[in-house]
A and B are shown apart, each in its own frame.
Chain A
Amino acid sequence: MKYFEPDSAKTQLGLAYGPSALTYLENHPEGLDYIEVPFEQLRHTPEVASMQKLIPMILHCASVSVAGTVSPTPATLQAIAQAAEHMRTPWIGEHLAFVSAEPLDRGDKDAAPTSLTYTMCPQLSEAAVDQVVRNLAVARTYLGSTPLLLENSPQYFAIPGSTMPMSEFIAAVMAQCDANLLLDLSHFLITCINTGVNPRDEIHKIPLHRVVEIHMSGVSQQSGIAWDDHAAPAPPIVFELLEQVLAKVRPQALTVEYNWSATFPQPILHQHLQRVRTLLEAA
C-alpha cells in the first residue's frame, strides 16, 4: 500500500477520484502524487480502496454535515474513522456545509430528517459558527487524531438570516476551531460572483495561513447564477487566484476536481496539471 506522506517543502498534486482520473493515472502513472477519494464512494464501492496499491489516497467527505443541525449517526462517524485509519489519510477534507436537516413538520415526532444528495451552504451567522464548533467536538470523539480540513462552500443565493459574508464566516470558524482550511478556489470564485464582490480583493479576507489543501474545478454561468462544474475546466481567473494564494502560503496538497465526466478531455486535464505544477514550482 502507498500512503500520503506530507512534505512541508512541497505541494503534492492530485486528482479527485472519477473515471477521467483513472484514465489519467493509467496513462501517466508518475504524473500524480495522490488521488482524493470521497468516503461516500468507498462506502458504496469498497473495492475502490485497492487503488491504494498504486497510489496514495486522501479521504474527502460529505457526510459529517459540519454546519448542520442534525448529526450523522454514530455508525456513519465510525465508518469515516475506519476509512481514514485504513487509508492513513493525512487529513479528512469535509465541506463547511450541511447534508441533513430537521424534518419540516415540527409536530411529527416520527418524521425522519431530510437528507440531501448534495452539500448545501449554511446560514452564515454566529449561530452557525457555534453549531460548527459543537459538531466538530462530536466528530472529534470518533475521528481520533486524524485532522479535519473544512472546505468552503459555494454560495448560490442569499441565505436568510445570514449576518456575515462567506469570507468572514470562514474566518470566524477558523478562529474558533482547530480545523484548518481546504480552500476550494472555484467555490470561492462562485461565491464572489454570486454575491457581487471582487475575488481578487476578497481572497485576502480568507485566513490563507490556515490553507492546507486547495481544490480547483470548473465554473459555469447559467440562468443568472455561477455554478460549480466539475465537468468543465477551471477558468483563467482560478489560476490567477491560485498564484495569489501561493504567494502567501505553501499548501500541502492541491487537488484538481475534474471528476464529473468520464469523457473530460484528457489533453486539457494534462495541460492544466502541467500549468498548476509550473505555478507551484515558481511559487
Chain B
Amino acid sequence: MNLHRLHAVLAAGVEQPQLLEQWDRQPGLLSQLGVDPSGLDLAALRKFAGLTVKVRHNPLREQMPLSFRLMSIASIEIDMFADYAMFRSKRQLRYATSAAARAGDLLDFLADWIDPAKREQLLLWDVIRYEDAIARLGPWLEQTPEAVDNSVTACPRLRGTVLLHELQSDPRALADMLYTSAPDLSRVPLQPQHLCFWRAPESDQAAVLTLDELGFYLLSMLDGQRSVSALTQCLGGGRDARNAVSRGLRAFSKLGIVILPDRIRRH
C-alpha cells in the first residue's frame, strides 16, 4: 500500500473525522483513495482523533482539574473527545483559541451529549459547570472591572456578577472522592443542589453559595427591571409570597449580593 496515499488518508481522517463515517458507509471511497478498506481500523482512527482533541484541551485543565480527573477515572475522555471531534468536524467548526471560549464550546456540546442515566456523565455535567462558573468569574472574566455601583434603583438588582446552576450532586463532595486512592463514583451522593456563583465587585474571585429553591428562583428572576411587586406576582402573589420575597431579598442584601430599593431597605 502506497505510503503517500496511506498517510494522506490517515491524516485526513484525523483532521476531519466526518470522513471516517463516510468511509464506513461507503468503503469503496477508500479503495478509490488507494487504501484497502479491510485493513483500516476506522473506529480506532476515530478514537485517535479523540486523543488529539483531548490534548488540544490541556490548557483547560488548570481551571478544570476535577472535571479532567473525573473523565480519566471514569475512562470516558477518549470516547467523549472522539464524539466531540466528530461533532465539530460535521459542522466544520474550528477550535477556539482562548481557554474560556474553548471551555464554552465544550460545555455547549456536553449539554446534549451527557446521558443523565449514566452516573459518571451526570457527575461530569455537574462538576464541569461548577469549575467553568468559578473560572468564568475568576481568571476567565472578560469584563474590565467597573467602578463599584452601589446606587439604589427602583427595582432590586444584583451587585457584582452572578451565575446560577442547578446540579444533581455537590462537586465539593465529588472532589473529596476523586482524590482518594480508590475513587468510587457510586458513593458520591446524588442530591439536588442550587448553587450561586457570585463575584462581588470588590473581589477577584467567585464565592459559591448553596441556596434553597426559593432563593435560587428569586436570584434567577432579578434583572433590575422587575419590581418587588412583580417578583411577588411571580410567586403567586399574596401576603405570604410578599413576605417570602422581602425576607429573601433582605438576606441577600445582607450578604451584599443584592441592592434593594429604598422602600424595602427602610422596612
B-contacting residues of A (Cβ < 8 Å)? Answer: 19, 68-69, 98, 100-104, 114-118, 120, 122-123, 125, 127-128, 131, 156-161, 220-223, 225, 227-229, 231-232, 260-263
Q: What is the CA–CA distance of A114 and B19 in the complex, to the nearest angstrom? A: 14
The answer on a CB contact under 8 Å between B45 and A260 is: no
The answer on a CB contact under 8 Å between A101 and B47 is: no
The answer on a CB contact under 8 Å between A232 and B7 is: no
Residues from chain B with Cβ under 8 Å of A232 in the complex: 72
Q: Is B61 on the interface with A (CB-CB < 8 A)?
A: yes
* Neighbour of A222 across the interface among B5, B44, B68, B75, CB < 8 A: B75
The answer on a CB contact under 8 Å between B45 and A114 is: no
Binds A, one of B48-56, B155-163, B207-215, B252-260: B48-56
The distance from the CB of B60 to the nearest CB of chain A, in whole angstroms, is 10
| Contact status of A120 and B14, CB under 8 A, knowing A102-B8, A222-B77 | yes
Q: Is B124 on the interface with A (CB-CB < 8 A)?
A: no
Number of A-B residue pairs with CB-CB distance less than 8 Å in the complex they form = 120
The answer on a CB contact under 8 Å between B78 and A231 is: no
> For residue B57, which residue of chain A has the nearest CB?
A260
Max chain A C-beta neighbours (<10 A), residue from B6, B47, B78? B6
The distance from the CB of A56 to the nearest CB of chain B, in whole angstroms, is 25
Residues from chain B with Cβ under 8 Å of A123 in the complex: 1, 3, 6-7
* Dominant SS among interface residues on chain B: helix
CB 8 Å contact bits of B1-41 with A (1 = contact, 0 = none): 11111111111101100010000000000000101100111
The answer on a CB contact under 8 Å between A262 and B61 is: yes
Q: What is the CA–CA distance of A231 and B64 in the complex, to the nearest angstrom? A: 13
The distance from the CB of A283 to the nearest CB of chain B, in whole angstroms, is 30
> For residue B59, which residue of chain A has the nearest CB?
A262
The answer on a CB contact under 8 Å between A101 and B12 is: yes
Residues from chain A with Cβ under 8 Å of B41 in the complex: 157-158
Q: What is the CA–CA distance of A232 and B3 in the complex, to the nearest angstrom? A: 34
Residue pairs across A and B with Cβ atoms less than 8 A apart, 11 shown, are A69-B7, A104-B33, A116-B52, A117-B52, A120-B48, A122-B7, A160-B39, A225-B78, A260-B61, A262-B62, A263-B65
The answer on a CB contact under 8 Å between A261 and B61 is: yes
Residues from chain A with Cβ under 8 Å of B14 in the complex: 116, 118, 120
Q: Is B79 on the interface with A (CB-CB < 8 A)?
A: yes
Residues from chain A with Cβ under 8 Å of B61 in the complex: 231, 260-263
The distance from the CB of A225 to the nearest CB of chain B, in whole angstroms, is 6
Lowest 3 A-B CB distances belong to which pairs? A161-B1, A157-B44, A101-B11
Q: What is the CA–CA distance of A100 and B11 in the complex, to the nearest angstrom? A: 7
Max chain B C-beta neighbours (<10 A), residue from A19, A128, A223, A227? A223
Q: What is the CA–CA distance of A115 and B16 in the complex, to the nearest angstrom? A: 11
Q: What is the CA–CA distance of A131 and B7 in the complex, to the nearest angstrom? A: 12
Q: Is B233 on the interface with A (CB-CB < 8 A)?
A: no
Residues from chain B with Cβ under 8 Å of A125 in the complex: 3
The distance from the CB of A69 to the nearest CB of chain B, in whole angstroms, is 5
Q: What is the CA–CA distance of A75 and B201 in the complex, to the nearest angstrom? A: 48
The answer on a CB contact under 8 Å between A116 and B11 is: yes
The answer on a CB contact under 8 Å between B1 and A160 is: yes
Q: Is B220 on the interface with A (CB-CB < 8 A)?
A: no
Q: What is the CA–CA distance of A261 and B58 in the complex, to the nearest angstrom? A: 7
The answer on a CB contact under 8 Å between B3 and A69 is: yes
Residues from chain B with Cβ under 8 Å of A161 in the complex: 1-3, 6, 39
Q: What is the CA–CA distance of A101 and B8 in the complex, to the nearest angstrom? A: 5
